[in-house]
Amino acid sequence: MSNTYCVYPFINVHTNTDGRCKLCCHVYGEDYVQVNGKDAILGKTKWDNIWNSEYMLDVRAKMLAGMYVKECGRCYEHEQKGLQSSRQWANENFKAPVLHSNPTHLELRLGNKCNLKCNSCWSVSSDQIYKERKKILQQENVPKWLNDQWQHEINSCESHDWEWYETQDFRDFVDDVAPTLERLYLTGGEPTLIDANQYVLDKLVEVGNRKCHVAWTTNMTTWPENFYNKLDFFDTSEIQMSIDGYGIHNTYIRYPTDWNKVEQNFYKAQELPLKVQLKIYFVYQAWNVFDVSPLIQWLEETQKRRVDFVPIFLEHPDQIHSCVWPIEIKEKVLKELKYIKTLRHRDPVDRIINYTTNTNKFSNENLTRMKQFIDINDKYRKYKFDKIFPSFYEVLEHRCKTLEQ
């Protein structure tokens, strides 16, 4: 296969929370599948017209010919840094297929219903963030760069039909693909709170498709029994637990998470059948660069079975990127990472070291923007950054005061 080939456009459909389709979840920006010059929306655009569109045919042809595909820039960047990209991972794990009339893999985001306001997230993926940021823009004099960013999110939320997954066309699509589906991935929003996900899972059970590998990402603050009980039916499944720090750090980053509830649900997860894979998805970002060690220590002390630790490298926004800090902090981070004592989770720690070593997002502008972002959010939230992360706050205060002089 060519060095730009990826199996995903031949097997997979990905939806944003507003129903617009992409090649996969790693596609940059707003490069959506096009049908007749318009963004393709699952449930609103006929499925055959999406799967066999000129856009999809062109992407597949370019990949087979070894041509650059602009939507795949993130994977190319990761590969240049020596990191395994999503493209490489997919090609290793999934066979190159004969093109089917239907996808065998689905990545569904059925709306943005959520109960958290994670700092690395945005309005399109959390209705709670949407409500908060709309309120802030109405009441505060927000810096222009942040006003533009948040207003764009709000406009996007308000310009789309959020009932796309309630249409008969969407249900017909699920009915068609359910018998032959091989992998289903659900996220959101918080997928355990989204009722429409039940329809998809129930349809797989109804048609007897036990072999479909079912996975979902969850913030671990809820545990609806009727949702988790469905895992008994499937031969294999996977729970991706989003935890971005230890204790109060996770509460601040994934606001307003109750850490005690996360721990309780983590113990419940370990009681699930062994055929259910458990993974902690750790979004590596500016405020948790020193949380890798305590979180891995907590994991090794509390896990009763295999639980994988999977780092996800936050790409944007730049102001909370993990590599935004000045060199003196970066050196401390690398020193701590290298001294982490773990055999079970050595590989993901080494991946974080490699990423941190080869990535630089430092700029005075990014640090200034980080402080502005923090100060505005903290006015509307219970927990304050200077109390939770005092050493980081001192760095920001010093840098910003120096720039003002």
CA distance 256 to 237: 28
Q: What is the pLDDT of residue 29?
A: 77
Q: What is the pLDDT along the chain (405 residues), one digit of tens a residue?
A: 678 999 999 999 999 999 999 999 888 778 999 999 999 999 999 999 999 999 999 999 999 999 999 999 989 988 988 888 999 999 999 876 667 778 999 999 999 999 999 999 999 999 999 999 999 999 999 999 999 999 999 999 999 888 899 999 999 999 999 999 999 999 989 999 999 999 999 999 999 999 999 999 999 999 999 999 999 999 999 999 999 999 999 999 999 999 999 999 999 999 999 999 999 999 999 999 999 999 999 999 999 999 999 999 998 889 999 999 999 999 999 999 999 988 889 999 999 999 999 889 999 899 999 999 999 999 999 999 999 999 999 989 887 777 665
Q: What is the pLDDT of residue 403?
A: 67
Q: What is the pLDDT of residue 288?
A: 97
Decide: 299 and 307 in contact? Cβ < 8 Å: yes
CA distance 286 to 294: 16
Q: What is the pLDDT of residue 139?
A: 95
Q: What is the pLDDT of residue 97?
A: 66
Q: What is the pLDDT of residue 90?
A: 93
Q: How many helices (H) and strands (E) does the chain have?
A: 18, 12
Domain ranges (residues) in the chain = 8-103
Q: Is 397 helix (H, G, I), strand (E, B) or coil?
A: helix
3-state helix vs strand vs coil in the chain, percent to 5: 50, 15, 35
Q: What is the pLDDT of residue 400?
A: 76
Q: What is the pLDDT of residue 405?
A: 57
Q: What is the pLDDT of residue 399?
A: 79
Q: Is the sign of the CA dihedral 197, 199, 201, 204 positive or negative?
A: negative
Q: How far is CA 270 from the centre of its chain?
A: 22
Q: What is the pLDDT of residue 106?
A: 96
Residue in the block written with tokens 């601040």: 252
The pTM for the full model equals: 0.93
Q: φ, ψ for residue 253 (rounded to 5)? A: -70, -45
DSSP per position, 82-126: TPPPHHHHHHHHSPPPPPPSS-SEEEEE-----S-EETT--GGG-
